[in-house]
């Protein structure tokens, strides 16, 4: 995660009174994995492409 846009763990934990940096690190380590992020990103991109194709060609696209 990056601190450039204030979405890093330290920035988030500094602005939250309920979540500590240690808790956020644990959650990231336990639940957020590169492969899951890749799959989620691919799904988002595929849905965007499908939506744009429907705008151009209509609903008659074989899936």
Question: Do 8 and 1 touch, CB atoms closer than 8 A?
Answer: yes
pTM, full prediction: 0.53
Instruction: Please report, for the chain, the start and end positions of each structural domain, with discontinuous segments joined by +.
Output: 1-32, 33-63
Listed as ranges, residues in the chain with pLDDT below 50 are 1-3
Share of the chain above pLDDT 90, in %: 22
Tokens of 6: 């204030």
């Amino acid at each position: 995660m990056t601190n450039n846009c204030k979405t890093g763990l330290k920035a988030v934990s500094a602005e939250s009174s309920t979540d500590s940096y240690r808790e956020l690190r644990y959650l990231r380590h336990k639940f957020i994995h590169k492969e899951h992020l890749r799959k989620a990103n691919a799904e988002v991109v595929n849905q965007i492409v499908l939506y744009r194709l429907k705008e151009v060609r209509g609903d008659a696209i074989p899936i």
